[in-house]
Amino acid sequence: MVGVKEGAIADLHLHTKDGSYDADVPAERLFRTAAWAGVKTLSITEHDTVEFHGENLRLAELNGIDLISGVEISCVDFYNAHILGYGMNDLAYLNGYLGRARVEGGWQTQGYVLDKHEKQVTCANLRKARFYPPVLKIKDAIEAIVRAGGVPVAAHPWWWRDLESKTGRSRNGNGSYRRKLSHERYEAKIEKLKNMGVKGIECSAPREEDVDFYTSVAKNLKMIRTGGSDLHSAKNGRKLGTTVLTSRDLDKLYNAIAASNCKNI
């Protein structure tokens, strides 16, 4: 059973069993739950792929949900340097680009193959692909998202860690146990990303004080505020939807997507 956050109108950061190796909720159930709870706008942001967007679009239409095409690209620059992309209208390009990056990054051992036109990437056994080594630099991820007509957004900055901030207690190697940075350094990192082309900041942190901090950074730097649950599983108590995102934030994102889509035509 997937729980839903009360009062949420949208969720722009979701993973499904169908498209992410570390998620266990089928897309079909996510869309049905959102429709039932009145969460009108979703974006499915699988790790490093947009392969499943066509099927998600079908489920969205079936359930009366507004779907924004999405992706979450894992980058090598620092720990948890994930870049979200929203509203891409050239998904064939992005899929081909990400597919090539994965194959070049050695993912064939995990069953990934790129078709001969380099347009589609498929994984014979997604559930067996236990881990996705990041292969792209942030600047390349931003460029690919923009070229596909999308809007790049900094994902969960509260999880960012420096590569060199090893504490020796990192249990899972993803940086969760590494030291946090100072507020000044988080803001400086976001400003750097803004100068590289990132348009928005995900602000839906689990801690209220982080929500306030990243909201103020978004305001200072005149960036869009986005939000989502980063739901991977119904088992850990995380709920679908975020109350951080308002209809005003959504409008700003839609405007940025429209501008980016235009440049792409």
- Which parts of this chain interact with Zn ion (CB under 5 A)? 72, 82, 155, 230
Q: Please state the closest distance from residue 25 (CB atom) to Zn ion, in A.
A: 13
Q: Please state the closest distance from residue 215 (CB atom) to Zn ion, in A.
A: 19
Nearer to Zn ion among residue 11 and residue 230 (C-beta): 230
Q: Please state the closest distance from residue 155 (CB atom) to Zn ion, in A.
A: 5
Cα 97 to Cα 43, 50, 51, 90, 94, distances in angstroms: 20, 11, 12, 11, 5
Nearer to Zn ion among residue 93 and residue 132 (C-beta): 132
Q: Which residues contact 206 (CB under 8 A, 6 or more apart)?
A: 158
Q: Where are the alpha helices (DSSP H) in the chain?
A: 27-37, 53-63, 91-104, 138-147, 183-196, 208-220, 247-264
Nearer to Zn ion among residue 114 and residue 126 (C-beta): 126
Closest residue to Zn ion, judged by C-beta, is 82
Q: Please state the closest distance from residue 174 (CB atom) to Zn ion, in A.
A: 9
Q: Please state the closest distance from residue 45 (CB atom) to Zn ion, in A.
A: 6
Token pair 């690209």 is found at 73
- At residue 81, φ and ψ (nearest 5 deg) are -80, 80
Nearer to Zn ion among residue 33 and residue 204 (C-beta): 204
Q: Which residues contact 135 (CB under 8 A, 6 or more apart)?
A: 76, 101, 102, 104, 105, 107
d(CA 20, CA 34) in angstroms, rounded, equals: 19
In this structure, what is the dihedral angle of CA atoms 237, 16, 1, 153, given to the nearest 10 degrees?
50
Q: Please state the closest distance from residue 104 (CB atom) to Zn ion, in A.
A: 22
Nearer to Zn ion among residue 87 and residue 157 (C-beta): 157
Q: Which two tokens stand for residue 15?
A: 């993973």
Nearer to Zn ion among residue 82 and residue 252 (C-beta): 82
